[in-house]
Amino acid sequence: MRKYPLHYLNDTEFENLATLICKKILGEAVIPFAKGTDGGRDGRFHGKANCFPSTTEPWDGKIVIQAKHTTKENTSCSDSDFQKILKNDVVSAIERLKGVKKVEYYMLFTNRKLTGKQDEKIENLIDENTGITNIVIADEKIQQWLQAYPDIVKEAKLQSLLTPLQFDEQDLKNLIIEFHKTIPDTSIAGKSEEDFTYVAIERKNEINALSQDYFDEIIKKNYTYFDFIRDFLKDPINKSLKEIYDDTIDDLNAKIVIKRSAYNAFEHLLEELYDYVITNNSELAGKKRLIRLFLHYMYCTCDIGKKDA
């Protein structure tokens, strides 16, 4: 699952995203409010929710929707600035709304991270000060909903946030073209995946969060080619190509370090690299399988990806 970097949105865009999600889980009767002094509400819903917090026991009453967005990356609900927002803005707003009988349930959306311990503290803070049933919808839950409801992603135009993991793929393209010229059909016949002894691969998969299914079903099938790539790169006649390979892994590693947190699983990163190379290099038609082959070789030989926890 690729995470959407919601910190790139502005406040209005994040409020719109919260409204779209609420229309799905509460119902079409969700009413958003225009930009301006919101009085502690960015939207509201009156009635019985479609499926929140569950289909068996949905909320039924006056539901207030509030969004608290941040443009800072990797923020948490435990950060001091958010704690101030809770105590100075959120609690006072709920108390005011309760006084005029405008709230029975309260939903607070934020793109910050939320731990189970912090979730409990926030719920207790609001409950003890206002007596209102409440819930914090943080980045983790929002990301799950975005995977479940791709129509929301489309309507909110979130795909524009997913900039590709770009690198100078021309070197890899040239390397693949030259490598393709040297592979006779008989060169891999009879090879066994048991010959592969480069790294303690199970530990590497764990460190990099690469799934067992992807490893077993996709990467393992390329084992039989790895020795041939190794011999190809070691051949003195291919010294210039080995230098191209080294430049490529250096470039890739720098980009991976920067972008790694945007991917829940390492295979999603590998597949985006594959897609990026294909998109920009039509001359690799008929050789596309070699893109994955080289990426998987780089990963399994620890040329890319973490080696240590």
> In tens digits, what is the pLDDT along the chain, a chain of 309 residues?
568 889 989 999 999 999 999 999 999 999 998 876 657 789 999 999 999 999 999 999 999 999 999 999 889 999 999 999 999 999 999 999 999 999 999 999 999 999 999 999 999 999 999 999 999 999 999 999 999 999 999 999 998 787 777 788 899 999 999 999 987 654 444 444 444 444 588 899 999 999 999 999 999 988 889 999 999 999 999 999 999 999 999 999 999 998 888 788 899 999 989 988 988 788 899 999 999 999 999 999 999 999 876
Total-model pTM: 0.62
pLDDT at residue 185, as a whole number: 58
CATH class of segment(s) 6-161:
alpha beta
Give residue 40's pLDDT: 76
- pLDDT at res. 207: 93
Do 188 and 292 form a contact (C-beta atoms < 8 A)?
Answer: no
Name 304's Cβ contacts closer than 8 Å, sequence gap at least 6: 249, 252, 253, 256, 295, 298
Strand locations in the chain (E): 31-32, 43-48, 60-68, 105-110, 133-137
pLDDT score for 1: 58
Strands 133-137, 31-32: pairing kind: unpaired
Which two three-digit tokens encode residue 177? 């073209």
Is-contact 249 304, C-beta < 8 A? yes
Q: Which regions of the chain carry the CATH code 3.40.1350?
A: 6-161
Question: Cα(286)–Cα(180) distance, rounded to whole angstroms?
Answer: 10
